[in-house]
């Protein structure tokens, strides 16, 4: 313990009170600092969530010694008469600070101060803070390497990222004790790996959750839902999910169905499934305070609701006066999970936990009062002031764990609006109530990159903007960008014009369909990236510097997986579209033209689609087009290889399993590693089955070779016994 303190250079910065109490624990490149003011009690401190998941094995090889932690950090601890605990860390010239979860504005957080307090931030903009999620994790990247800082405390807190003092990042929490984790690098990838080892890995999602998802607030009646599904299929627009917002409920009460609007609700879900659609139902956490309403009656009988002044706390939300489950109790989470029984029996595939900051109408701050009381399993209590930021995560946890019990062999899909560090264990997320503006389209990329750098890799935004009616060109550009986001969902408010792909006529529909189809052809590549993310914490959508910290980046462009560079059009200007490629050599995905990073590409006129480039030496699987992931592709798997340059790396990978069960956790999956070596216009391409305990859909593979002279690529070889390892010799096209 003493060695850990010395290695990190822990220091106390004085102040009017006696020195703060300090302890430290070092474990596999992670230093935990427990900091408390004199006289603090556990009841006054934050709830240490004990984020390491004991059921998850440690990643092999992740045992770097503590000396890999940056010794120059020298944290300073201050406790003052204003009742706050502050810990600060040095910021070096040229260091960048990323992450911090759901925050608007530029990707680099340096020079600003951020508050962590989950907030229903309707119609937020780039200047709004806080937003829906509180993920107090900062990724610091500089010339000396990268490290992370995690505050394990769900109370209101702030990160002053060099705004007050440009040379220091100051973390502030009100009173009591705080837990801060310092997470070693040396690379951003190393930091994210340790971060998810600590806070929990995201489970591999069902494959359908990576498909296109259509939603609206709200599709009613039942005939309208069926019409949307029929139109998607009739127009040959691939899609995997349809969402139902609160309009399907009886008087907005969760876990109910309005049988006047949806007389055949269960049959409708079954019919949608037969068409290849998964139905996702909203289940807000507020329970209407109405006798005779089953969730309320059972909740009262089992004493599951949070308290204020000894009685159930009541707040006004969509159903009117409502009570709120006390998700910090295991028995309450179990009760909540059982509420899904009927919907699961009907065949609903996923659930959407909204309003779980928690949002409460017509009260100061828009949430529960700070003196609402939560109970813990050990018999102790904490106020909502202490546990606020963890409430939404515990709601998502209750949903996820309940679905696991109801469908033990199936992967749950949960979408949550509110989150805390570690929520990736239970749910995907989205950026909340955005607006139909070009500014929000441009803001979506830094927001989603930041969530990915904070452990929430499965994230998206409302395509087209939730609030307002986008013009045709804006909606098309949003579909084109959304097709490269991890979660791809079109959603809109009830008072807007349609956001569906077919609105605005055939020309716009064709552009939107093409973007969706490209995603489905790349589904094997995307699913492989999702598995890597679940295993290692590497974001699916990542900054260009993620594996190359010397690379310049922007708030517009990003990598999709390791090998695709996406440079979307996100403004309404008509001047040329300029693209600065990352370091190295790249090929146009559509035209195969080879480019170097020496100078920017100037695309004039602006491209009708999204410019996407493939890293030289990349090996990427592509599949035949399907209308949903439940459809087995017909034909051959294509393995595309882009000719490496100057003896550079040439590699790729492929992961496949059944796409929906937990069998992959028992080893029932296929993992293939591709590699190649090219010399004097001749290439040897090899595929090695590293793990082959799953039989994929393809029987034959065709290798498509892309050479320096451009074009669509040429067939280089066919492998008929494609389920085993293989090796082929190829010649450079042209």
Question: Which sequence positions are flagged as catalytic?
Answer: 354, 357, 433
Residue 208 contacts residue 273 (beta carbons within 8 Å): no
Of the candidates 718, 516, 728, the residue with the CA atom closest to the CA atom of residue 636: 718
Distances (CA, A) of 477 to 22, 67, 134, 549: 52, 47, 29, 29
Residue 669: phi, psi to the nearest 5?
Answer: -155, 165
> Distance between CA 456 and CA 658 in Å, rounded?
24
> Distance between CA 468 and CA 250 in Å, rounded?
26
> Distance between CA 526 and CA 652 in Å, rounded?
12
Give the bridge partners for 374, in sequence order: 382
> Distance between CA 327 and CA 304 in Å, rounded?
8
Residue 328 contacts residue 382 (beta carbons within 8 Å): yes
For residue 161, give every residue at least 6 positions away whose Cβ sits within 8 Å of its Cβ, in sequence order, or none.
91, 97, 100, 109, 110, 111, 112, 113, 114, 138, 169
> Distance between CA 84 and CA 15 in Å, rounded?
11
Residue 529 contacts residue 656 (beta carbons within 8 Å): no
First to last CA, the chain: 64
* Chain centre distance of CA 164: 31
3-state secondary structure of 506: helix
- Identify the burial level of 534 via C-beta atoms within 10 angstroms of its C-beta, where 0-12 means exposed, 13-18 middle and 19 or more buried: buried
Element (H, E) at 441: helix 438-452
DSSP track, 71-119:
GGG--EEEE-TTSEEEEEEE--TT-EEEE-SS--S-S--TTEEEEE---
**Token digits of residue 628:** 């949903």
Give the strand pairing for 701-706 and 637-642. Answer: parallel
Note if the bond before 617 is cis, omega within 30 degrees: no
Of the candidates 723, 677, 731, 674, the residue with the CA atom closest to the CA atom of residue 701: 723
- What is the DSSP secondary structure assignment for residue 308, as one 8-state letter? E
HEC states along 345-395?
Answer: HHCCCEEEECCCCCCCECCHHHCCCCCCEEECCCCCEEEHHHHHHHHHHHH
């Amino acid at each position: 313990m003493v060695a850990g303190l010395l290695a990190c250079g822990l220091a106390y910065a004085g102040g009017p009170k006696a020195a703060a109490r300090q302890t430290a624990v070092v474990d596999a490149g992670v230093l935990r600092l427990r900091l408390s003011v004199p006289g603090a009690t556990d009841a006054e401190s934050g709830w240490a969530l004990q984020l390491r998941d004991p059921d998850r094995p440690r990643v092999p090889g992740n045992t770097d010694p503590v000396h890999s932690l940056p010794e120059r950090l020298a944290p300073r601890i201050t406790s003052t008469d204003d009742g706050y605990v502050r810990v600060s860390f040095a910021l070096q010239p040229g260091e960048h600070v990323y992450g911090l979860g759901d925050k608007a504005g530029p990707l680099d957080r340096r020079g600003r101060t951020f508050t962590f307090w989950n907030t229903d931030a309707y119609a937020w903009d780039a200047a709004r803070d806080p937003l829906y999620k509180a993920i107090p994790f900062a990724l610091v990247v500089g010339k000396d390497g990268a490290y992370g800082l995690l505050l394990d405390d769900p109370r209101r807190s702030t990160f002053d990222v060099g705004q007050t003092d440009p040379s220091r990042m100051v973390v502030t929490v009100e009173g009591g004790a705080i837990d801060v984790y310092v997470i070693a690098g040396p690379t951003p990838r190393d930091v994210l790996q340790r971060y998810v080892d600590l806070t929990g890995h995201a489970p591999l999602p069902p494959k359908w959750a990576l498909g296109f998802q259509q939603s609206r607030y709200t599709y009613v009646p039942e005939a309208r839902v069926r019409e949307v599904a029929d139109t998607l299929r009739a127009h040959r627009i691939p899609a995997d999910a349809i969402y139902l917002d609160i309009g399907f409920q009886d008087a907005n009460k969760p876990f109910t169905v309005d049988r006047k609007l949806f007389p055949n609700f269960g049959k409708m879900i079954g019919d949608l499934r037969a068409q290849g659609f998964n139905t996702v139902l909203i289940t807000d956490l507020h329970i209407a305070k109405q006798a005779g309403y089953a969730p309320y009656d059972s909740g009262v009988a089992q004493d599951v609701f949070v308290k204020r002044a000894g009685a159930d706390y009541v707040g006004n939300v969509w159903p009117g006066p409502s009570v709120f489950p006390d998700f910090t109790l295991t028995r309450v989470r179990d009760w909540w999970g059982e509420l899904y029984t009927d919907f699961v029996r009907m065949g609903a595939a996923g659930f959407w936990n909204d309003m779980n900051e928690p949002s409460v109408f017509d009260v100061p701050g828009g949430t529960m009062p700070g003196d609402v009381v939560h109970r813990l399993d050990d018999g102790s209590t904490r106020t909502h002031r202490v546990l606020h930021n963890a409430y939404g995560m515990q709601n998502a946890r209750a949903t996820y764990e309940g679905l696991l019990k109801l469908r033990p062999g199936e992967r749950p899909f949960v979408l949550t609006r509110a989150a805390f560090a570690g929520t990736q264990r239970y749910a995907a997320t989205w950026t909340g109530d955005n607006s139909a503006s070009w500014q929000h389209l441009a803001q979506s990329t830094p927001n989603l990159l930041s969530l990915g750098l904070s452990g929430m890799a499965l994230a998206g935004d409302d395509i087209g903007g939730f609030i307002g009616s986008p013009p045709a060109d804006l909606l098309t550009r949003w579909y084109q960008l959304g097709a490269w986001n991890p979660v791809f969902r079109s959603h809109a408010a009830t008072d807007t014009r349609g956001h569906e792909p077919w609105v605005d006529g055939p020309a716009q529909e064709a552009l939107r369909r093409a973007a969706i189809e490209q995603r489905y052809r790349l589904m094997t590549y995307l699913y492989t990236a999702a598995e890597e993310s679940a295993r290692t914490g590497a974001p699916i959508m990542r900054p260009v510097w993620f594996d190359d910290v010397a690379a310049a980046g922007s708030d517009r462009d990003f990598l999709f997986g390791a090998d695709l560079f996406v440079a979307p059009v996100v403004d309404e200007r008509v001047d040329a579209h300029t693209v600065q490629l990352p370091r190295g050599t790249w090929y146009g995905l559509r035209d195969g033209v080879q480019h170097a990073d020496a100078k920017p590409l100037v695309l004039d006129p602006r491209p009708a689609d999204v410019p996407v480039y493939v890293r030289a030496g990349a090996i990427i699987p592509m599949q035949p087009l399907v209308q949903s992931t439940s459809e087995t592709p017909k034909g051959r798997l294509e393995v595309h290889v882009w000719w490496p340059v100057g003896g550079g790396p040439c590699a790729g990978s492929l992961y496949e399993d059944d796409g929906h069960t937990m069998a992959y956790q028992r080893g029932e999956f296929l993992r293939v590693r591709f590699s190649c070596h090219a010399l004097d216009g001749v290439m040897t391409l090899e595929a090695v089955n590293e793990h082959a305990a799953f039989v994929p859909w393809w029987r034959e593979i065709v290798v498509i070779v892309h050479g320096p002279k451009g074009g669509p690529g040429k067939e280089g070889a066919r492998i008929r016994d494609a389920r085993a390892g293989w090796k082929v010799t190829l010649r450079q096209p042209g």
